[in-house]
């Protein structure tokens, strides 16, 4: 089985170009069942994103908020916000369509439309995301328009840096390549207009005044762990990387990651071990040491507790 991953820098920024400079939108299919622990890790990008759950229920994390999407529900996520996705049922096969796009596609920054309708919406810190429920009357046309955008980009759009995705059926007839870019621009504008028209009924998200500072702290600590997991790392080391106390580091991790810094370190080491078992022929002992474990027996014990099987059994089952 192929295991998917995401190229991230030390701040959790996704190092991928989304679309082309002259048409800044890209279509993706997140095959959540192919990611380690069925989870797309926390990441961010400058562009906005629309994501729709298909094939099962998905937990979406935006900042420190957690949202459960049922099949065919969707979500809009503003740019510059940490977010991630997790398939909730290990037996399901979630293949979730999404688009990452620049709002320049709706209107250029210098235009009246951008200044009057786009920027104020993006700048509202109480709307970092919009949940789109398939059962909500005014959300349904938006979800249908997203399906058409997905179908157009899947059929006529450019291939992403991630390569080819499975072909999804959106039940859209009469797709035409003639002016498909303009069709997409018009559909995005219609969706944005619906947001503006219903802005007074959009749920306000309670945001901590120091949300941005907390996000920078968690990014710094995650970056430190990802760069030093192969060495001996203490809670003091992790907190020092963000210039905060150990108690504040623990609070940040529990808020964003729902675990302690040391638990996250262990989780990251085990996920790295899973990748190495899948992608390399290195010995179990060498992988144990490369992932920061001093004891091979402890590594095997924790791996089995987390993954449900020994490293050797995992390699036999998932190695290509």
* Alpha carbon 299 to chain centroid, angstroms: 28
Count CB-CB contacts under 10 A for residue 197.
Answer: 10
CATH ID of 25-201, from 2.50.20.10, 3.40.50.720, 3.40.50.300, 2.60.120.280: 2.60.120.280
Homologous superfamily of domain range 211-318: Homeodomain-like (1.10.10.60)
Identify the three-state secondary structure at position 18.
Answer: coil
Q: Contact 24/100 with Cβ under 8 angstroms?
A: no
Residues in the chain: 320
Q: Could you tell me the residue ranges of all domains in the chain?
A: 25-201, 211-318
What distances in angstroms separate CA 276 from CA 7, 13, 122, 284, one per listed residue? 16, 23, 40, 9
pLDDT value of position 318: 76
**For tokens 């944005």, what's the residue?**
192
Q: Contact 264/272 with Cβ under 8 angstroms?
A: no
Residues of the chain with pLDDT under 50: 1
Q: Contact 129/75 with Cβ under 8 angstroms?
A: yes
For 12-56, how does the pLDDT look when each residue is reduced to its tens digit (9 = 90+)? 999 999 999 999 999 999 999 999 889 999 999 999 999 999 999
What distances in angstroms separate CA 27 from CA 23, 41, 49, 177, one per listed residue? 12, 19, 10, 16
pLDDT value of position 1: 45
Q: What is the pTM of this model?
A: 0.89
């Amino acid at each position: 089985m192929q295991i998917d991953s995401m190229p991230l820098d030390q701040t959790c920024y996704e190092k991928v170009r989304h679309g082309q400079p002259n048409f800044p939108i890209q279509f993706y299919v997140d095959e959540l069942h192919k990611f380690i622990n069925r989870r797309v890790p926390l990441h961010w990008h400058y562009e906005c994103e629309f994501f729709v759950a298909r094939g099962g229920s998905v937990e979406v994390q935006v900042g420190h908020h957690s949202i459960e999407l049922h099949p065919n529900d969707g979500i809009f996520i503003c740019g510059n916000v940490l977010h991630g996705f997790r398939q909730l049922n290990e037996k399901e096969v979630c293949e979730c369509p999404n688009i990452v796009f620049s709002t320049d596609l709706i209107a250029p920054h210098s235009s009246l439309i951008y200044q009057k309708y786009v920027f104020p919406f993006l700048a509202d810190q109480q709307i970092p995301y919009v949940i789109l429920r398939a059962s909500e009357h005014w959300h349904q046309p938006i979800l249908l328009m997203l399906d058409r955008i997905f179908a157009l980009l899947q059929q006529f759009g450019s291939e992403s840096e991630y390569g080819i995705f499975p072909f999804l059926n959106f039940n859209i007839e009469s797709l035409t390549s003639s002016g498909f870019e303009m069709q997409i621009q018009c559909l995005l504008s219609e969706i944005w207009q619906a947001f503006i028209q219903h802005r007074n009924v959009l749920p306000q998200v309670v945001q901590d005044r120091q949300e941005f500072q907390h996000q920078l702290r968690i990014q710094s600590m995650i970056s430190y762990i990802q760069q030093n997991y192969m060495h001996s790392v203490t809670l003091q080391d992790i907190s020092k990387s963000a210039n905060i106390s150990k108690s504040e580091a623990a609070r940040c991790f529990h808020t964003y990651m729902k675990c302690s810094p040391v638990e996250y370190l262990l989780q990251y080491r085990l996920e790295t071990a899973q990748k190495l078992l899948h992608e390399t022929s290195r010995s179990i002992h060498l992988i144990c040491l490369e992932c920061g474990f001093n004891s091979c027996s402890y590594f095997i014990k924790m791996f089995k507790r987390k993954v449900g099987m020994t490293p050797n059994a995992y390699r036999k089952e998932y190695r290509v």
